[in-house]
Amino acid sequence: MQKILLAAILLFTIYSCENDNDSPKNKEEKIILKTNVIDAEYSKKTDQLVFISSNPSQVNIFNSNTETFQKISLAYAPTCISISQDGNTAVVGHDGHITHVNLKNPSIIQTYNISCSALDIVLGKNRWAYVFPEKDQWTYIKSVNMNLEYNYEMPISIYNQLHAGAKGRLDPSGNYIYMQSPLSRGQVQRLTIKNGDIDDRYESNFEEENYTIPSIWFSENGDRLFTRERSVLKTSELNSLDGVYNGRIPSENNYKIDWLDHSSLKGKLYVIFSSGDQWDLIKSNSIYVFNDADLSYVNKLELEKYFNQTGRNNVETFDAMPYFAFSNSTGKNLFVITKALDSDLVNEWAIQKININ
């Protein structure tokens, strides 16, 4: 009887050890990607997360409701992407080209030649695209009328001059692009695109105190603008009321904002912080949550680590570094694109889904 009992204990121990490797703590719930991620945007109209990759070169369309993927292969390596306001199309920037794509029926609509390498791109109304060049000291935004078969890149004018490295973002009304240049004092500028080509520029009275990496985000309705330096500005079509300082998102360690998303239904701001500069950028490994009304801190959302099985009972873990965070149309889920920190994993990128109470 004693021998039978000892045998049973031994079998139970072996079974338990084998199953330790399959315990929940080692099972990854994130969606592992088989591509890299260069740039990403989210449409709350269609609940699709759209990102571009260079390995392979393609547009990747993730339906956040069904958690399924579609893709569009690209002829050139992509550098940036912008989704239309209705979520049905997008435009992708390349070196010397832009590609207009259909996201509803995944396919390429048309590819256009441009006279620069695209650092950033904005898709406006009525098939107009606005390209921010990567190179040259003083250069010009390239306004591209994709309704034309030829001569679609509009002539330069005094209104769209900028310093290379500037980036822009379409405000939710679709009438303006707000941009910021990488200069010693990062002034916020507003470009009017109501009629297609850039026809005016208003420079707000607001400037950052120090050099900043150009970055701008909006509240969902566009009444507020957020900068990398954590500044909050009120926006308005009236020049005298536009770019008015409206507060600052708190940070104990004087971190910069690396990404920001707003959920009006939840009344929350989801922030990825970073420290250092663009050559030695260190991102936070959590998502920080703030109330949108008074900018008060709420809590942190922890990210799932990456796991690598190195042996029968050995598992390596790697922190997840967040790059993009998007709340869905209901505000109930947050989708975070992450990369394994300092790992040699074959697939380092993933999408993490966080349920929001």
Window from 75-79, 104-108, 125-129, 188-192 with minimum mean pLDDT? 188-192
Confidence tier at 101 by pLDDT (50, 70, 90) = very high
8 A C-beta contact, residue 189 and residue 201: yes
Mean pLDDT calculated for residue range 263-279: 90
Nearest Cα to Cα of residue 184 among 163, 199, 203, 159: 163
Q: Which residue has the higher pLDDT, 344 or 50?
A: 50
8 A C-beta contact, residue 235 and residue 243: yes
The pLDDT assigned to 328 comes to: 98
Residue/partner pairs of 301-310 with CB below 8 Å, 24 or more apart: 301/270, 301/334, 301/354, 303/336, 303/338, 303/352, 304/28, 304/29, 304/30, 304/352, 306/28, 306/30, 306/340, 306/343, 306/345, 306/348, 306/350, 307/26, 307/28, 308/343, 308/345, 309/21, 309/26
Q: How far apart are CA 302 and CA 356, in angstroms?
A: 12
Q: How confident is the model over 234-251, as pLDDT tens digits?
A: 999 888 899 899 999 999
Q: How far apart are CA 139 and CA 154, in angstroms?
A: 14
Q: How far apart are CA 338 and CA 325, in angstroms?
A: 9
Cα dihedral angle (244, 249, 252, 256), rounded to 10 degrees?
-80
pLDDT of 20 over the 60 cut: no
Q: How confident is the model over 312-337, as pLDDT tens digits?
A: 678 899 999 999 999 999 999 999 99
Q: Which residue has the higher pLDDT, 15 or 131?
A: 131
pTM of the entire structure? Answer: 0.90
CA atoms within 13 A on the CB side of 346: 3
* Residue % of the chain over a pLDDT of 90: 68
8 A C-beta contact, residue 116 and residue 97: no
Q: How far apart are CA 92 and CA 58, in angstroms?
A: 10
26: left (phi over 0), alpha (psi -120 to 50) or beta: alpha
Q: How far apart are CA 64 and CA 67, in angstroms?
A: 5
pLDDT of 343 over the 50 cut: yes
The pLDDT assigned to 7 comes to: 44
Confidence tier at 17 by pLDDT (50, 70, 90) = very low
For the domain made up of 29-163, give the CATH fold: Methylamine Dehydrogenase; Chain H (2.130.10)
Confidence tier at 93 by pLDDT (50, 70, 90) = very high
Confidence tier at 278 by pLDDT (50, 70, 90) = low
Mean pLDDT calculated for residue range 275-300: 89
The pLDDT assigned to 157 comes to: 75
* Residue % of the chain over a pLDDT of 70: 87
Helix (H, G, I), strand (E, B) or coil at 2: helix
8 A C-beta contact, residue 119 and residue 132: yes
Confidence tier at 27 by pLDDT (50, 70, 90) = low
The pLDDT assigned to 28 comes to: 67
Q: Are strands 39-43 and 31-32 parallel, antiparallel or unpaired?
A: unpaired
Q: Which residue has the higher pLDDT, 240 or 286?
A: 286
Nearest Cα to Cα of residue 257 among 293, 214, 296, 297: 214
The pLDDT assigned to 240 comes to: 86
Beta bridge partners of 121: 131
pLDDT of 233 over the 90 cut: yes
Q: How confident is the model over 151-161, as pLDDT tens digits?
A: 999 988 776 77
The pLDDT assigned to 182 comes to: 80
How does the average pLDDT of the chain come out, rounded? Answer: 88
Q: How confident is the model over 209-223, as pLDDT tens digits?
A: 666 678 899 999 999
